[in-house]
A and B are shown apart, each in its own frame.
Chain A
Amino acid sequence: MLGPITILLVCQLAGEMTVRVLALPVPGPVLGMLLLFAGLLARRGVPRPLTEVAGGLLRNLSLLFVPAGVGVVAHLGRLSDEALPIAAALVGSTVLSIAVTAWVMAALLRRGGKEPGA
């Protein structure tokens, strides 16, 4: 358990530092994800403990958004003043972009060949 957590934090820290040194427009953790991915490619496999810890974190991923979500309280005034445009933009745009993105990708995948293992 300690090993995989250390690996995750080392990748994140390396990501954060690289982003700052090179002034990249990416958050450190996303670069950290690419670093870990490169490491897994080089190693040709995921060590079992890392699979377990990563799985545990990702199974509870939505919990991690709760504290930021409670930040809504700081903006209740603006949210209620502009409730209609905000609701229209968030619901309309999110639904539309899920549909458009998935539809385009599915159409191109169909053209490109059969779906493996589906």
Chain B
Amino acid sequence: MNDRLFDVWVYLSASPLAGLTLTLVAYQAGLWAFERCGRTPLVNPVLIAVVLIIAALKILGVDYKTYFDGAQFVHFLLGPATVALAVPLYNQFQQVRRSAGAMLAALAVGSMTAAGSAVALGWLFGASERTLLSLAPKSVTTPIAMGISEQLGGLPSLTAVFVILTGIVGGTLGSGVLNLVRVTDWRARGFGMGVAAHGIGTARALQVNETAGAFSGLAMGLNGLATAVLLPVLVRVLW
């Protein structure tokens, strides 16, 4: 019997099926909790899934690399999903074109606020230089953020973690913050989410309103571009 259990264990740890299934099951649990709590953004399915998976990996003594061998199939879909953002963007193109001026101004202000305030707050509370440089691109979508971080001298994998945490913070608190500053325009709400909280903010915006989702997806792409171009120059001048 023990031998057979061992065989099962060997199979599971060698096959990508376990990591993949664990990801989906944990996310379903997160979604279930989200629905049960009346779809409040304060219950974030990504956060719940991440915590459950980390707990499972710790208990089973499985390392991240082994887990990722399976989970990479989910991770891979981020690429096609980003391409798919062209569809809501196209559907909302009339609105996007009409608000282009306001969008570019908000992008410039938002992009610099996101990077500048992260570094300033981190510095104020005594973060190390490595951490500060890894924090700077935290509002940008993961692949661009990792590239910028490397260019600046940060740790790309640490930046990836900051990016996800930023998204979770934005997805969780974003709606409340937007209500607090009394922004009711869906275009502006979505754009703010996309600039500050990239894809996870966009996922949240899409849940609420298609216009907000389209502006958020566009904001995510634009802020990636703006930060990739501006931040390395800014850091070289100021550092």
Q: Which residues from A are CB-within-8-Å of B143?
A: 27-29
Q: Which residues from B are CB-within-8-Å of A57?
A: 77, 80-81, 84
Report the separation of the CA atoms of residues A20 and B141 in the bound assembly, to the nearest whole angstrom: 18
The yes or no answer to B139 lying at the interface (CB within 8 A) is yes
Report the separation of the CA atoms of residues A37 and B172 in the bound assembly, to the nearest whole angstrom: 29
* Contact in complex: A72, B164 (CB < 8 Å): yes
* Contact in complex: B185, A109 (CB < 8 Å): yes
What 1/0 flags go to B70-98 for Cβ under 8 Å of A? Answer: 01101101111111111111110101001
Select from chain A the residue with minimum beta-carbon distance to B77: A64
* Contact in complex: B121, A62 (CB < 8 Å): no
* Contact in complex: A97, B64 (CB < 8 Å): no
The 15 listed contacts between A and B (C-beta, < 8 Å) are: A8-B80, A27-B224, A29-B82, A30-B224, A33-B83, A58-B88, A58-B203, A65-B199, A66-B53, A98-B196, A101-B114, A101-B191, A102-B178, A103-B181, A115-B187
A58 and B118 contact, Cβ closer than 8 Å, known pairs A67-B71, A70-B71: no
Select from chain A the residue with minimum beta-carbon distance to B47: A69
* Contact in complex: A72, B138 (CB < 8 Å): no
* Contact in complex: A36, B98 (CB < 8 Å): no
Report the separation of the CA atoms of residues A104 and B23 in the bound assembly, to the nearest whole angstrom: 38
Query: A59: shortest Cβ distance to chain B, in Å?
Result: 7
Q: For this complex, into which size category does the number of interface residues on chain B fall?
A: 35 or more
Q: Which residues from B are CB-within-8-Å of A51?
A: 87
The yes or no answer to A2 lying at the interface (CB within 8 A) is no
Q: For this complex, into which size category does the number of interface residues on chain A fall?
A: 35 or more
Q: Which of A72, A78, A92, A110 has the most CB of B within 10 A?
A: A72
Q: Which of A91, A93, A95, A97 has the most CB of B within 10 A?
A: A97
Q: Which residues from A are CB-within-8-Å of B228?
A: 25-26
Query: A45: shortest Cβ distance to chain B, in Å?
Result: 8
> What 7 A-B pairs are tightest by C-beta distance, nearest first?
A102-B192, A101-B110, A108-B102, A67-B71, A85-B125, A105-B106, A85-B127
The yes or no answer to A17 lying at the interface (CB within 8 A) is no
Report the separation of the CA atoms of residues A29 and B225 in the bound assembly, to the nearest whole angstrom: 12
Q: Which residues from B are CB-within-8-Å of A105?
A: 99, 102-103, 105-106, 185, 187-188, 191-192
* Contact in complex: A109, B196 (CB < 8 Å): no
Select from chain B the residue with minimum beta-carbon distance to A70: B53
Report the separation of the CA atoms of residues A91 and B213 in the bound assembly, to the nearest whole angstrom: 22
Which of B75, B82, B229 makes the CB contact (< 8 A) with A68?
B75
The yes or no answer to A22 lying at the interface (CB within 8 A) is no
* Chain B 152-203 residues near chain A, CB threshold 8 A: 157-158, 160-171, 173-174, 177-178, 180-181, 183-189, 191-193, 195-197, 199-203
Query: B55: shortest Cβ distance to chain A, in Å?
Result: 10
Report the separation of the CA atoms of residues A35 and B85 in the bound assembly, to the nearest whole angstrom: 11
Q: Which residues from A are CB-within-8-Å of B160?
A: 68, 71
* Contact in complex: B141, A5 (CB < 8 Å): no
Report the separation of the CA atoms of residues A82 and B130 in the bound assembly, to the nearest whole angstrom: 11
Report the separation of the CA atoms of residues A25 and B122 in the bound assembly, to the nearest whole angstrom: 26
* Contact in complex: A29, B50 (CB < 8 Å): no
* Contact in complex: B117, A93 (CB < 8 Å): yes
* Contact in complex: B164, A85 (CB < 8 Å): no
* Contact in complex: B95, A101 (CB < 8 Å): no
Query: A27: shortest Cβ distance to chain B, in Å?
Result: 4
